[in-house]
Chains A and B, each alone.
Chain A
Amino acid sequence: MTRSLETTRPTTAPSRYATFMSRHASLMPTFAAVAILVVLLVGAQARFPRFLSPGNISALLLDNAYLVVLAVGLTFVILTGGIDLSVGSVMAFTGILGASLLAQGIPAVIAVPVMLITGAVIGLLIGILVQYFDVQPFIASLAALFLARGLAFVVSLASIRVEDPAVLWLQRTRFTVAGWYITPTGIIALLAVAIAFFVLLWTRFGRTVYGIGGNEQSARLMGLNVARTKIVVYVISGVCGGLAGLLLTAYSGAGYPRNGIGTELDAIAAVVIGGTLLTGGTGYVLGSLVGVLVYATIKKLISFMGAEQSWTQIIVGALLLVFIVVQRVIVARSQRRR
């Protein structure tokens, strides 16, 4: 009662700026992420003249190609208002599984699809638990985290080297243009972003994802296929986990069961910093790419400064906090407007 009285607004016409802000409030966190990325890059360039060299920037993307792919898959899940804690473990499991298959002489043509399907199956398991057994996404994906991590150690307790030329080709080939370079792993990561961008913006499935995140009940009443969509987003996240496993295996030339402990948190942080609301319904996959780049730049900057690696975690935590508070303010304002 009192609240509605407090928020009665003056009836003067809002400025153009205010109109823009209110129409595109959901874009604000992503804009903020882009601004932070630019400030970071400019600041880094001012401090280290060689920071913005083409080679360095290329490496920024390629070193984190796996994280980009994980963040893309996670964006789908978070947009529906869910969460997937298993992505780092799935990446480790599919990576070591692929490396082990290749080491047994199975050709990459079979091993790579097996990796992707394994990821999809784990995602499907989470999706079924969430959708049909009313398990909270947090707990269902937690079980998957344990499962995948344990299975990674079942496949092998030690690191397995990859000799397969097709997989190594993904990382060793370099397409160079004027000092910029990109490897097939980088191309795959960018393709994943592009496909996700297209799917989320221009397909019925994408709209359903946003619809569920906005309000699951409404989405169901509108006749959208909520059950199928919710399961599919976890499958997408699982496939992305498998793909990330492939990229990381190619990148490091080996599968290792301890890979990616804590990566799920890096990926969640990247998605949140990129402006996707953890309550679902608002966010952009390009934002997640920006989030990963912010994360990668901080890591690189800290290694340039020769500071302790511990600062990366602290700064990422602090940034995450800033973005959460920004999101909190935005959500509070949009709710008041309603």
Chain B
Amino acid sequence: MKAILKHRLFWPVVALLALVAINTIARPQFILVTLRDGELYGALIDILRNSAPLMLVALGMTIVIATRGIDLSVGAIMAVSGAVALTIIDGSSDPGNLGTVLVALVVAVAVSLVLGVWNGFLVAVVGIQPIIATLVLMLAGRGVALLITEGFITTVNSPPYEFIATGYLVALPVAFLIWVAAVAVIALTERRTALGVLTEAVGINPEASRLAGVRARGIVFGAYVLSGFLAGIAGIIYSSNIRAADANAAGLFIELYAILAVVLGGTSLMGGKFTIAGTVIGVLTIQTLEATILFLGVPSAQSPVFFAIVVIVVVLVQSPRLHRWARGALASAGARRGADAGSRAGVSS
């Protein structure tokens, strides 16, 4: 029991379950999942499906944060990747052709890989602070996306492309399967090989791990490439979902939500130890919270207030000073009890 309470994922899981419970009490159909024409439907399924872009971005962010970095450019990379994919499909004579869509996907992912390499180069090779290095692409990236779409919101009608976000495979949404696959691949490579340990070593002390023979530069570089790659896929899913490439709105603020998800999951922003399961729970919590806020009838524009409160509560709970206070209060209570016991003992003797 104590082991469960002490587990680092205990509080994130409790928060998520509490949110689901509150929703279920407020409207019992929330928990209901129905099978229609061999496809699952329901509020929970929607949350799993809609999590895809944020989940992919947050996964990359987890690894980047583990190396003591941060990637602000993910939203811009999403915008670029969506713009590239839809521009290729829009420009072809047959938007519905599977081959065209595949070419578009490959090119879009390749472009986002290049952007990830660019970030990795600035951080790992040139040695610029991550927040600043990625700020460059955050600013310029949307400009590039606007340039690609020529300032318009490119819309397409391409069934194979729309399948990515709205399609179903074995009764489950494709978007959900994509993020599950990504989580599985990353969790396995990080946890079943030494890569995860090396990443944490680099995050805890880059210099020491370099002296210990860890190829710190390569690991940091790889983290940004991975983040760019996943953001590219997220951009494809986003644009597939709205059937349009919107250079201004795609991935807006997603870097902030991704960081929030990582923090909610219990990964420290100071680098080092990271938890992929925590990030998954963090993302699901954010999506559930968003669904809850929507259900409460709060205009979605006002929802940032709730997220701000959540962030503040989470950082306060994680704050060392508050822990010290709590421990101090417990200790002094314990001491008082001890002193009481002592004085009583003194009286009796």
> A21 on the interface (CB 8 Å rule)?
no
Complex CA gap A135/B314 in Å reads: 10
| Interface stretch of the complex, out of A45-53, A54-62, A141-149, A202-210 | A141-149
**Does B147 lie within 8 Å of A308, measured CB to CB?**
yes
Q: Which of A256-279 contact B (CB under 8 A)?
A: 257, 261, 265, 268-269, 272, 278-279
> A311 on the interface (CB 8 Å rule)?
yes
**Does A316 lie within 8 Å of B269, measured CB to CB?**
no
Complex CA gap A313/B147 in Å reads: 10
Please judge, given known A-B contacts A157-B299, A265-B138, whether A146 and B308 are in contact too, CB under 8 Å.
yes
**Does B312 lie within 8 Å of A143, measured CB to CB?**
yes
Q: Which of A139-159 contact B (CB under 8 A)?
A: 139-140, 142-147, 149-151, 153-154, 157
Q: Which of B141, B145, B301 has the most CB of A within 10 A?
A: B301
Contact with B139, one of A257, A309, A317, A325 (Cβ below 8 angstroms): A317
Interface size on A, residues (CB 8 A): 45
- Closest B residue to A322 by CB, please name it: B136
Task: Write out the residue numbers on chain A whose beta carbons fall within 8 Å of the beta carbon of B306.
Answer: 150
Contact with B along A50-91 (1 / 0, CB 8 A): 000000000000000000000000000000000100000000
**Does B311 lie within 8 Å of A316, measured CB to CB?**
no
Q: Which of B109-136 contact A (CB under 8 A)?
A: 122, 126-129, 131-133, 135-136
**Does A325 lie within 8 Å of B126, measured CB to CB?**
yes
| Interface stretch of the complex, out of A112-120, A126-134, A174-182, A193-201 | A126-134
Contact with B along A319-338 (1 / 0, CB 8 A): 01100110010000000000
B271 → A minimal CB distance (Å) = 11
Complex CA gap A163/B309 in Å reads: 34
**Does B147 lie within 8 Å of A314, measured CB to CB?**
yes
A142 → B minimal CB distance (Å) = 6
Contact with B136, one of A83, A309, A317 (Cβ below 8 angstroms): A317
**Does A144 lie within 8 Å of B308, measured CB to CB?**
yes
> A26 on the interface (CB 8 Å rule)?
no
Please judge, given known A-B contacts A142-B259, A153-B302, A272-B132, whether A320 and B308 are in contact too, CB under 8 Å.
no
Contact with A along B198-227 (1 / 0, CB 8 A): 000000000000000000000000000000
**Does B70 lie within 8 Å of A138, measured CB to CB?**
yes
Task: Write out the residue numbers on chain A whose beta carbons fall within 8 Å of the beta carbon of B132.
Answer: 272, 278, 324
Complex CA gap A311/B146 in Å reads: 9
Task: Write out the residue numbers on chain A whose beta carbons fall within 8 Å of the beta carbon of B305.
Answer: 146-147, 150-151, 154
Complex CA gap A311/B308 in Å reads: 33
Q: Give 7 A-B pairs besides A143-B308, A313-B142 with Cβ atoms closer than 8 angstroms.
A: A133-B315, A142-B259, A154-B305, A310-B145, A313-B140, A317-B136, A328-B126
A interface residues, Cβ below 8 angstroms from B:
83, 129, 132-136, 138-140, 142-147, 149-151, 153-154, 157, 257, 261, 265, 268-269, 272, 278-279, 308-314, 316-318, 320-321, 324-325, 328
Top 5 closest A-B pairs, CB basis?
Answer: A317-B140, A313-B143, A150-B305, A150-B304, A310-B146
B interface residues, Cβ below 8 angstroms from A:
70, 122, 126-129, 131-133, 135-147, 150-151, 247, 252, 256, 259-260, 263, 269, 299, 301-309, 311-312, 315-316, 319-322
Chain A to chain B contacts (Cβ below 8 Å), 17 pairs: A133-B315, A134-B321, A139-B259, A140-B315, A143-B308, A149-B304, A150-B304, A154-B305, A265-B135, A265-B138, A272-B132, A313-B142, A314-B143, A314-B144, A314-B147, A321-B122, A325-B128
